[in-house]
Structure 1
Amino acid sequence: MEVRNGSGWIAAYPYNVAGKTWYANHHSWQWSSAAHFRISYGSFDVSQLYDNYYTADQKSTVKPADKTAVKEQNKIANKTSKKAAVKTAMIQTYKQVGTFYPDTTLNVRTGAGTNYAKVATYYVGEHVTYNQVIINKDYVWAQYTRSNGQVGYIALGENGGQAYGKRVIGVSHTYYTVKYGDSWWVIAQRFGIGMNDLAKLNGMNTDFLIYPGNKLIVK
């Protein structure tokens, strides 16, 4: 039999392995498929190793007969596995349309996390209309479309803790898509609303530039 790179094991089961080195060039010889060990259940495949090809001289720090040490190793392994599962489940995303009124100064970021770049700021008295909520570890984030057409993220509060403002969910709005030649004044006149009120309705002020393709709330 040929094994790529000279590694592998041979499935055969002599009950007495003493002096048997027929396949030493393959590093090991499988001699049992029904071995039993103390403080373990079931049957195990057991191989005789002829060299350190698979172990790379690594030594076990836990003796199989040490019940306390084995149990502790199992606890650590299970704890690590559970942590990974919890971490994966921590990020949740769901659709929700609403308006958020912050009661503190908040940064707008390029992603749903404090490690993302800050691109804008919202202050008390302003508001933002969002279309998606992301729960990411310690914080709850709202996703919304910024005045420049790019997506922004603002923290709604701590996950299971303090809220950073008031959320009004399910508010129905009328939207207008900005066209070439439009301005705050032109759009406000078209829909019979004050220019400053129009900007405030969109969580901005009239110093913000608007571009063709931007969607604005008009009522």
Structure 2
Amino acid sequence: MPRLDMVDTSNNNGTMTVANWRSMKKYGVRAMVAKLSEGIFFTDQTAKTSIRNAVVSGLHVNGYHFARFTTVAGAKAEAQMAARSAFNAGLGKDAVIVLDFEATNLGWSRNSANIKAWVAEVKRMGYPKTDVYTMGSWTNSMPLNNAGRGGWIANYPSNPAGLKFYGSYMGWQWTSTHKFPGCYGGFDVSQMYSSYYYGTATKAIKPKKAIYYRYNPKMIYARTTINRYKDVAFKQKVDSFPAGTVFAIAKVIIYGKITRFQLANGYYITSNLANVNRLYYAVNGGVKQVKSVRGSHRYKDVSLHHVVDWQPAGTHFDVAKVVKYGDTSRIRLANGMFISGNKKINGFVK
């Protein structure tokens, strides 16, 4: 039988887990292509997690967009959709962004103009590696050349054993119904003839060790959605707050080998640095430069009572010193003026 070099997935397969990908690797799978988007109306919500889990499993990762366009303008709009979806799904510049072209065949001239417009726009949006996927009967209806060896072609013979179709192309998708142990449903699998789709890093990513606050930062803001709980074990959820929400911390509570933050109302939230961050710069934090987020006042005094002027959003400030002020901090500038040490007002640069 042909090799199982690459698998493409979509929401039809569900979200692919690390266990799924590792099962596939045992049978020779080296790369995956996740459906990213379709037309200008659909984004595949399974792509991001499936891609992340594939990276963790040591696979090369890529993405595809299902074409619905019939004009150059439509092709450009869908290319922007594809590139944004690729970025949001976590694909880097080494990933191949594939145009799945199998909906409407308008003949060589119009197909060529539309496909070239799509490819050019995807590259302009920051993804230099592209390819075109289509069925075998359409290969003479569109430009497939990509650095001398373009195109990923689908053709499903009843008995593929011993066959090597489309050897001059990037790859041959030889079935859409292959079964893998521990994985739901049938999968599209391909035998690849070049390393073009193997450009992304495949070293399995080890999860970072969680770091928890061991001191009370007094004020923190949420990096991610934060749940509040009645109990320190986090079994009785009360409600949730979006990223950016500010919390005043009453206590740091030891919970086994980690900690929790307790609020003044007795509820508990996480103290994991991946989820929360101290709101004010630390005196010994080593910050050297900040940037105004929405515009910042400069003050004569550390209490921030006497305004000197207003600096617009985007203004960079060189930090002379971070000064503690109660449970907060101030940033002293080289000219002796002060600005707020609140990170949501003056964001970290270096």
Q: Please indicate the TM-score interval, normalised by the length of the shorter structure.
A: 0.3 to 0.5
Give TM-score scaled by structure 2 length: 0.23
Give TM-score scaled by structure 1 length: 0.33
